[in-house]
Amino acid sequence: MSSSEVLVRDEAAVRLITLNRPESKNALTVPVNAQVRAAVESAPAAGVRVVALTGAGGAFSSGLDLRVAAAEVLDPSAFEDRMRTHFHGLVRALRACPLPTVAVVDGVAAGFGCDLALACDLRLCSDRARFGEIFVKRGLMPDGGGTWTLPRLVGLGRALELMFTGRMVEAAEAAAIGLATRVFPADQLETAATDFLRSLAGGPPLVHRAVKDAVYRALHGTFDQALDIEAEGQLRLLGSRDFREGVQAFLEKRTPAFIGE
């Protein structure tokens, strides 16, 4: 599945997908998006428990590669299919993935690269990470789901300000406003992220799936509907082997070994 521009590695129940176009700050093209999407969509069947997305060379992603797509961007009718199929298809795949998805952000995440990070459930960042909905600076609006995800993370007014101005948000501010989940020194990001991802992958996968499903469904429903979803999920979990293992591990004062059953 790996290519020179998208590297995919499964280790310790974590699928790490690396954008590997450092010469362009991991700018995105249709082939790159297609490979990332395939890696995300195939992850559950591969037996991994967590999907992580990162970029090589000190950047997450600078967004759409205008050097490659300039002609199509200037022709809306030609660009529409690629936007809806390949760019929307990628962020939809991340949102639909039943596994926890984590963006590991070092350096810039701008334009669609920012929206790509926002489409993940969590964002682990270095202290030199920078986020920017810079579409406005090109005379455009966000087109990777940012108008949906950003207000839910940072609030309506702040999200509108960031999209109106296109200003870059440094790591410290990103953490303060809820855009970054955790921030680490740049020279510690790889180790810290690896530890976090492996710890997450060691948790109960049935619970992770149930929580993710319930939370995202709750965004569109009422409080009573959320309670019903929680009840349904909890009853399924009470019948699982992992629940029995969790109780037994508690009684035996040991770390539980969850198997996803």
pLDDT digits (tens, 9 = 90+) for 160-194: 999 999 999 999 999 999 999 999 999 999 999 99
pLDDT digits (tens, 9 = 90+) for 186-218: 999 999 999 999 999 999 999 999 999 999 999
Place of tokens 């406005």: 136
Cβ atoms of 225 and 232 closer than 8 Å: no
105 vs 10, 85, 155, 243, CA distance in Å?
19, 25, 21, 34
168 vs 6, 57, 114, 151, 177, CA distance in Å?
26, 19, 10, 16, 13
Q: What is the mean pLDDT of residues 105-117?
A: 97
Average pLDDT taken over every residue of the chain: 94
Question: Of all residues in the chain, what percent carry a pLDDT higher than 90?
Answer: 88
Binned at pLDDT 50, 70 and 90, residue 81 comes out as confident
Cβ atoms of 58 and 26 closer than 8 Å: no
Residue 77 has pLDDT above 80, yes or no: no
What beta strand segments (E) does 20-159 contain?
A: 50-55, 101-105, 108-110, 122-126, 130-132
Rounded CA separation 183/195 (Å): 14
Cβ atoms of 20 and 26 closer than 8 Å: yes
pLDDT digits (tens, 9 = 90+) for 230-252: 999 999 999 999 999 999 999 99
**Helical packing angle, 223-238 and 205-218, nearest 10°:** 170
Q: What is the dihedral of CA 240, 243, 244, 249, to 10 degrees?
A: 150
Residue 72 has pLDDT above 60, yes or no: no
Q: Which residues, in sequence order, are CB contacts of 70 under 8 Å at separation 6+?
A: none
Cβ atoms of 53 and 17 closer than 8 Å: yes
Question: Of all residues in the chain, what percent carry a pLDDT higher than 70?
Answer: 96
pLDDT in the model for residue 8: 97
Cβ atoms of 204 and 259 closer than 8 Å: no
**Helical packing angle, 112-119 and 88-96, nearest 10°:** 20
Give me 7's structure tokens.
């590297």
Residue 108 has pLDDT above 80, yes or no: yes
Domains contained in the chain, CATH given:
6-201 (3.90.226.10), 205-251 (1.10.12)
Cβ atoms of 6 and 53 closer than 8 Å: no
pLDDT in the model for residue 75: 67
Strand partners, 123: 103
pLDDT in the model for residue 2: 63
pLDDT in the model for residue 93: 97
Binned at pLDDT 50, 70 and 90, residue 137 comes out as very high
Binned at pLDDT 50, 70 and 90, residue 79 comes out as confident
Residue 76 has pLDDT above 80, yes or no: no
Place of tokens 């954008």: 19
Nearest-CA neighbor of 192 among 203, 181, 204? Answer: 181
pLDDT in the model for residue 4: 93
pLDDT digits (tens, 9 = 90+) for 37-71: 999 999 999 999 999 999 999 999 999 887 766 55
Q: What is the pTM of this model?
A: 0.93
